[in-house]
C-alpha cells in the first residue's frame, strides 16, 4: 500500500511517483501533483490533468488521493454541521464546520478518540483508538471545504484543532499537517488562522515552540488550582500546572499573537468568584485572553452547567485584568459543541 497523496509533501510525492513509474520523475512532476492536491484541491486523482492519463487513472483506481468519505452529516439549527468521516480502515472521525457570516471555522480532530481522561469531556469516554495521519488531518479540511463549496478563498477559513484527540500526543503528524496547510504554494492558510488546543502536555509545548511553522496555542486550563485540576484533568498529576504555566511563559509569541486559555465552567466545582480571582493570579503577566465555556452536557458526564448569571459574574472578575469572552456553544443540538464529540447520533441527519 502506498501512502495517499493527501498528507504527502514534495519528497513523499517524488517517492510515490518513482515507485509507480519505476523511474525517477522529473522535478516538475512532483510540483504539479502537489499543486493539484493542495492548491487546486482536486476531488479525484483522475483530475490531475498534468499527469499522463494512464498514471492518473492508475492513481484513481488504487484510491491514492486519500480523501475521507462522509458516513453521516448532522446539521444544527444554528447552521453548524458535524461530519462523521470514514477513514480507509473504516474508523470514523468527527469534523465540525461553523459558519459565522462570511467566515467559516473548521474544528478538526487529531486522534480517533482521546487518551486524556478529562472528567467533563465526552470524547474521553471513547479512549484512544489511534492517531490520525497527517493526511487524515488535512483531509478533513479538504473534504469539508469542497463539500461546502469553500474551495476558493482561504482568507475566510479558520481552523481549530479542538475536535477529538490531544494534538500534542500526535505531534509529528500534527506538525506535518500544519506545514501542508500553511504552505503558500499549497492550501495556503495563514498560521494566524490555525489554532491548536492542548490539555497541557508540557514537554511537547516546548517542542512545538521550536517549530518554524506553528499554529497559535490555546491551553485548556479548566481549573484554578493544582489540586482542582488534578481532580478534573488527571493528566495534571503527570504534567503539573506550575510547569504548564512556565511553558506558556516560554512560548515565543509572534508580534500578532497572544495565548488563549480555555476554561470549562462546571456548576459548583470551579465556577466561584474565588476561582475567577485565582485564574487571574495564575495568568498574571501572560499576554493572553480567556475563553469561558459553560459546560456542554452529555450522557455519562457527572457535572452540570452553571447559570448564565454565575458565568457572567466569573467573566466580570477576570475581565478586570484580562480580555475574557464567553464562548457561545455551536451545534449543541447535534452533539457538535466543545467536548461533545463522541459519534453521537441525532435525528437531524442530512442527506449526503
Ligand atoms: N484535547 C484538546 C483539544 C480538544 S478539546 C484540549 O483538551 O484542549 C476542546 C475544548 O473543549 C477544550 O478546551 C476542553 O476543555 C473543552 N471541553 C471538553 N469537554 C467539554 C464540555 N463537556 N463542555 C465544554 N467544553 C468542553
Ligand atoms: Fe481529550 Fe481534550 Fe477531551 Fe481532555 S478535553 S479528554 S484532552 S479531547
Annotate 27-60 with DSSP letters as a single string: HHHHHHHHIIIIIS--SSGGG-TTS-HHHHHHHH
Q: Are 60 and 335 in contact (CB under 8 A)?
A: no
Residue 339 is predicted with a pLDDT of 85
Is the Cβ atom of 116 under 6 angstroms away from ligand 2?
yes
Least confident of 15-24, 32-41, 150-159, 209-218: 150-159
Strand partners, 223: none
**Considering only CA atoms, which of 34, 26, 15 is closest in space to residue 187?**
34
State in Å: Cα 129 to ligand 1 middle.
18
Residue 106, pLDDT score: 97
Which of 32-41, 115-124, 164-173, 339-348 has the least mean pLDDT? 339-348
| Long-range own/partner contacts, residues 47-50 (CB < 8 A, 24 or more apart) | none
Phi/psi for 259 (5° steps) reads: -85, 155
Average of per-residue pLDDT values in the chain: 95
Whether 94 is catalytic is: yes
Q: At what angle are helices 171-182 and 134-147 packed, to 10 degrees?
A: 40
Residue of the nearest CA to atom 4 in ligand 1?
Answer: 162
For ligand 2, say whether the CB of 248 is within 6 Å of any of its atoms: no
Query: Which listed ligand is nearest to 124 at the C-alpha?
Result: 2
Segment 294-318 shows an average pLDDT of 96
User: Of the ligands numbered here, which is closest to the C-alpha atom of 221?
Assistant: 1
316's CB contacts (< 8 A; 6+ apart) are: none
Q: Is 227 a catalytic residue?
A: no
pLDDT surpassing 80 at residue 348 = no
| pLDDT surpassing 90 at residue 347 | no
Which residue's CA lies nearest to atom 10 of ligand 1? 338
Positive or negative, the Cα torsion across 131, 133, 134, 136? negative
Mean pLDDT of 314-332: 96
The pLDDT value recorded for residue 91 is 95
| Count, residues in the chain | 352
The DSSP-derived string for 246-279 is HHHHHS---TT--EEEEEEE-TTTT-SHHHHHHH
Tell me the whole-structure pTM to 2 decimals: 0.96
Could you tell me which residue, 208 or 154, shows the higher pLDDT?
208
Top-confidence residue, 171 or 150: 171
From the list 66, 27, 91, 80, the residue with the least C-alpha distance to 180 is 66
**CA 329, CA 337: separation in Å to the nearest integer?**
6
Query: Among residues of the chain, what percentage have pLDDT more than 90?
Result: 89
Position 105 scores a pLDDT of 96
Residue 155 has pLDDT above 90, yes or no: no
**Per-residue pLDDT for 346 more than 90?**
no
Q: In whole angstroms, give the CA distance from residue 340 to residue 123.
A: 7
Residue nearest to atom 19 of ligand 1 (CA): 339
Average pLDDT over residues 198-211: 98
CA dist., res. 228 & res. 343, Å (int): 29
Is residue 153 over pLDDT 80? no
pLDDT of residue 123: 94
Q: Is 295 in the pocket of ligand 1 (CB under 6 A)?
A: yes
Nearest CA residue ID for atom 5, ligand 1: 162
Amino acid at each position: 500500500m502506498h501512502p495517499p497523496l493527501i498528507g504527502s509533501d514534495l519528497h513523499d510525492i517524488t517517492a510515490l511517483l518513482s515507485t509507480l513509474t519505476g523511474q525517477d520523475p522529473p522535478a516538475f512532476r512532483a510540483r504539479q501533483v502537489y499543486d493539484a492536491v493542495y492548491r487546486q484541491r482536486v476531488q479525484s486523482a483522475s483530475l490531475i490533468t498534468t499527469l499522463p492519463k494512464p498514471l492518473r487513472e492508475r492513481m484513481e483506481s488504487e484510491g491514492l488521493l486519500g480523501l475521507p468519505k462522509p458516513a453521516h452529516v448532522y446539521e444544527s439549527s444554528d447552521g453548524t454541521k458535524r461530519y462523521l468521516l470514514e477513514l480507509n480502515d473504516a474508523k470514523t472521525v468527527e469534523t465540525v464546520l461553523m459558519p459565522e457570516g462570511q467566515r467559516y471555522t473548521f474544528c478538526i480532530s487529531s486522534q480517533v478518540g482521546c487518551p486524556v481522561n478529562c472528567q467533563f469531556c465526552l470524547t474521553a469516554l471513547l479512549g484512544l483508538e489511534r492517531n490520525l495521519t497527517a493526511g487524515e488531518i488535512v483531509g478533513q479540511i479538504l473534504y469539508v471545504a469542497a463539500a461546502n463549496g469553500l474551495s476558493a478563498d482561504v482568507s475566510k477559513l479558520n481552523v481549530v484543532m479542538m475536535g477529538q484527540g490531544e494534538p500534542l500526543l500526535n505531534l509529528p503528524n500534527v506538525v506535518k499537517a500544519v506545514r501542508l496547510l500553511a504552505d503558500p504554494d499549497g492550501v495556503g492558510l495563514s498560521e494566524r488562522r490555525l489554532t491548536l488546543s492542548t490539555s497541557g502536555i508540557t514537554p511537547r509545548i516546548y517542542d512545538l515552540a521550536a517549530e518554524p511553522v506553528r499554529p497559535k496555542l490555546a491551553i485548556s486550563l479548566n481549573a484554578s488550582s493544582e489540586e482542582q485540576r488534578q481532580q478534573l484533568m488527571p493528566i495534571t498529576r503527570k504534567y503539573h500546572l506550575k510547569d504548564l504555566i512556565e511553558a506558556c511563559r516560554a512560548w515565543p509569541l509572534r508580534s500578532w499573537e497572544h495565548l488563549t486559555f480555555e476554561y470549562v465552567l462546571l456548576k459548583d466545582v470551579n465556577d466561584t468568584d474565588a476561582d475567577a480571582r485565582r485564574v487571574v493570579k495564575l495568568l498574571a503577566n501572560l499576554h493572553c485572553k480567556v475563553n469561558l465555556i459553560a459546560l456542554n452536557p452529555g450522557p455519562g458526564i457527572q457535572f452540570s452547567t452553571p447559570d448564565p448569571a454565575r458565568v457572567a459574574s466569573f467573566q466580570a472578575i477576570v475581565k478586570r485584568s484580562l480580555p475574557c469572552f464567553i464562548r457561545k456553544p455551536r451545534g449543541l443540538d447535534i452533539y457538535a459543541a466543545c467536548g461533545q464529540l463522541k459519534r453521537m447520533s441525532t435525528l437531524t441527519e442530512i442527506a449526503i
